[in-house]
Amino acid sequence: MALQCGIVGLPNVGKSTLFNALSSAKAEAANFPFCTIEPNVGVVTVPDSRLQILEKLVNPQRVMPTVIEFVDIAGLVKGASKGEGLGNKFLANIREVDAIVHVIRCFNDDNVVHVAGNVDPIFDKEVIDTELQLKDLESVEKKIARIEKIAKSGDAKAKKDLEILKLFKSGLEAGKNARAIDVEKEDLEAIRDIHLLTIKPVLYVANVDESSILTGNEHVNKLKENVKDENAEVIMLCAAIESQIAEFDDPEEKEMFLGEYGLEESGLNRLIRAAYSLLNLITYFTAGVQEVRAWTIQKGWKAPAAAGVIHTDFERGFIKSEVIKLADYEKYKSEAACRENGKIAIEGKEYIVQDGDIMHFRFNV
């Protein structure tokens, strides 16, 4: 599943530095706006300690983790919704991603120019929010204009859609993001075809200086207070530190470096896991002597759909699945021992796959 998170933010907030640390793909990081003109895509491994557990138990020929894609998108400025700067390109790129990672500068540094002249995380956030809201408002108004005549003719669906669209219009005009407008899930069908930007789930990344990495600072506090009603997570990290951590190949050296800053793990690990969760994703595993592998699916998927991620034939000819819980695999040390002790569950087409399930599918085509 090639799901993508778009890394956005004003110029010079640390987007490209963060992306470079996340990915082996290298975006140019420079002290001037628009150094990232084309979107850069990096495929990033999702850290998961359960893979190491299975590797020790199974001793496979190879281990295949699951991945998530990050897109480094050109910096946005005020007026982007009207095409200012690289606005049109920015908005087109962000429309294609599944979720937004919004990097916000929460550090003072006279050597790194701020596009607005001073560091203000709320201002930074609101610039991007406003530009996305204005573009969404334009999309909503265009659809309203298209269906008003149909609604006046008495078409029941058009009348209902018009009612929902007007709710979104009012909310956007009031400065709300579409994701914060309170409607029933089925009502979202009215706006699905216009692909609103502010309905995408968002994760805020507070980019702090080295001295604030453990305790935060006044900028982080302001950001957290501002987004507390959005049901959005704030991840605090120092992109400069993360770029150094990413250069270590030796796990022990990396651990020592983290220890110098009082960190137990990198901020990137937390960011990747949070982004994975933001997309409503879970992981199940297949485990055999040839390969231990993590598979990405949407939370709530049933067994046949999960099987289809491996191969469409698995879904089409699905018969049943055998499921082992990781705790049982750890306890009994092998699939054979789990079978002997009655710890393999036989599940049918209605089984909802759980995060961490170890699965084997039976199919016939």
Q: What is the pLDDT of residues 154-172, one digit of tens each?
A: 999 999 999 999 999 999 9
Between 89 and 348, residue with greater pLDDT: 348
Q: Calculate what percentage of the chain has a pLDDT beyond 90.
A: 64
- The correct answer on CATH 3.40.50.300 for the domain covering 4-47+65-119+200-278 is yes
Q: Where in the chain is the domain with CATH 3.10.20.30?
A: 300-363
Q: Report the pLDDT averaged over residues 304-326.
A: 97
Q: pTM of the full predicted structure?
A: 0.84
Give the contacts of 199 (CB within 8 A, at least 6 positions apart).
Answer: 136, 177, 178, 179, 188, 191
CATH number of 300-363: 3.10.20.30
| Of residues 250, 8, 248, 202, the one with CA closest to residue 105 | 8
Angle formed at CA 42 by CA 252 and CA 28, multiple of 5 degrees: 90
- Residue reference for tokens 């069908």: 189
Q: What is the per-residue DSSP string for 99-116?
A: EEEEEEE----TTS--TT
Which residues make up each annotated binding site for ATP?
12-17
Question: Token pair for residue 135?
Answer: 């573009």
Q: Where in the chain is the domain with CATH 1.10.150.300?
A: 128-192
Q: Where in the chain is the domain with CATH 3.40.50.300?
A: 4-47+65-119+200-278
Res. 131 pLDDT band, cuts 50 70 90 = confident
Q: What pLDDT digit, counting tens, does each position of 61-110 carry?
A: 999 998 888 888 876 656 555 655 445 667 888 888 999 999 999 998 87
**Average of per-residue pLDDT values in the chain:** 88
Q: What pLDDT digit, counting tens, does each position of 41-57 carry?
A: 888 888 899 999 999 99
- Note the maximum CA span of the chain: 71
Evaluate if residue 29 carries a pLDDT over 50.
no
pLDDT of residue 113: 59
Which residues make up each annotated binding site?
12-17
Compute the distance between CA of residue 333 and CA of residue 58 in angstroms, rounded to an integer.
Answer: 8
Q: Report the pLDDT averaged over residues 242-250.
A: 87
Evaluate if residue 18 carries a pLDDT over 70.
yes
Fold of 128-192: DNA polymerase; domain 1 (1.10.150)
| Of residues 206, 345, 318, 211, the one with CA closest to residue 271 | 206
From 117-131, 205-219, 332-346, the region with the lowest mean pLDDT: 117-131
pLDDT of residue 37: 41
Between 137 and 83, residue with greater pLDDT: 137
pLDDT of residue 44: 86
Q: What pLDDT digit, counting tens, does each position of 139-156 carry?
A: 999 999 999 989 999 999
pLDDT of residue 34: 37
Q: Report the pLDDT averaged over residues 2-27.
A: 80
